[in-house]
Amino acid sequence: MVESSALNLRGKVVLVTGASRGIGAAIAQAFAREGATVAVNYLANEAAAAQTVAACQAAGGNAWAVQADVGNPAAVDAMAQAIAQEAGPIDVVVNNALRPYAFDPERRQPLDALAWSDYQAQFDAAVGGAFHVCRAVLPQMRQRARGSIVNISSNLVEHPVVAYHDYSTAKASLVGFSRNLASELGPFGIRVNCVAPGLVYPTQGSAQTRESFRESLMAATPLRRLASPEDVAGPVLFLASDLSRFMTGQVLLVDGGLVMR
């Protein structure tokens, strides 16, 4: 039995995109521990999604896997409708899905090696995916005049310690999208915020980051370590919960103090 907490997330219906592994899986499990009902969205890795669902259920929450490409508006609409039919209207959305990206300073592409299509691909994933999901769930949230949307950005927007041009530019656009949405939806009781992690290790994206670079980044970070996926989950829960009920349009940096605002 999951006890009630100040977060007041018990029984909430939560959609986490890109939740089959890494940050998304940690976020889904954190909601489950609070007694939420979690829709674990995934693109292709059914086995990994099943592991996340099992972990959520073991943590005390209800969870099931929902396959959909967040870049496909029709698939996203069908997913939102299926979730509502299965568990009721969606209360919380976490837009975490991203296009695969290798955070490796030695393999990054400088500007003159990039094409505009590289930027467009990242923009379609970061902003396009959030756009499609928000469009699909907003009717459910507007009808009840409440809801929380949390979009996963990056501290690279504030501090491009490595110039991942296409990725960081897309995440900056996601922040702009989120703030415009927060302004529009505030009168409807719907909040939109962002969580901006630093380098999160271990994840698929950071797996190729050299140990020497990780150590230099930790040395420059006041808390002297890198974020884990679980470190990102806590701020997401805070922004989804009643504890942050008077916060919208904000970006919470989760990078151990590397960026201070």
Q: Which residues are catalytic?
A: 167
Nearest to 139 by CA among 190, 73, 207: 190
Tell me the C-alpha distance between 67 and 89, whole Å: 18
- Residue count of the chain: 261
Residue labelled with tokens 């008077």: 246
Whether the Cβ atoms of residue 217 and residue 226 lie closer than 8 Å to each other: yes
